[in-house]
Amino acid sequence: MTSTEKYKTSAPNKPKNCWDLFCSFTLMAMQAFGGSTAIAQQFLVDQKKWLTQSEFLDLLTVSQVLPGPNIMILTIMVGDRHFGWRGALASFLGMITLPATLMLSVFVFYQQYAENKWVSDALVGMAASASGMVAGAAMKLLYNCKENIITPPVWIFGLVITFITVGVLKISMVYILPIVGIPLSFWAWYQFIKERSAQS
Domain boundaries, the chain: 3-116
Which percentage of the chain shows pLDDT scores above 70? Answer: 76
- pLDDT-based confidence at 147, cuts 50/70/90? low
Residue-averaged pLDDT of the chain: 79
Q: What is the pLDDT of residues 169-197, one digit of tens each?
A: 888 877 887 888 788 878 877 777 777 77
Comparing 168 with 195, the larger pLDDT belongs to: 168
- State yes or no: pLDDT of 1 exceeds 50: no
Rounded to the nearest angstrom, the gap between the alpha carbon of residue 5 and the centroid of all alpha carbons in its chain is: 23
- State yes or no: pLDDT of 5 exceeds 50: no
Q: What is the pLDDT of residues 24-33, one digit of tens each?
A: 999 998 887 6
Q: d(Cα 74, Cα 32) in Å, to the nearest integer?
A: 14
pLDDT at 64: 78
Instruction: Tell me which of 26-40, 57-71, 120-134, 158-172 is least confident.
Output: 120-134
pLDDT at 54: 82
Q: What is the pLDDT of residues 37-67, one digit of tens each?
A: 778 888 898 889 899 888 888 888 888 777 7
User: Is 23 exposed, middle or buried, given 0-12, 13-18 or 19+ CB atoms closer than 10 A?
Assistant: middle
User: Which residues, 6 or more positions from 59, have their beta carbon under 8 angstroms from its beta carbon?
Assistant: 51, 74, 77, 78
Comparing 143 with 5, the larger pLDDT belongs to: 143
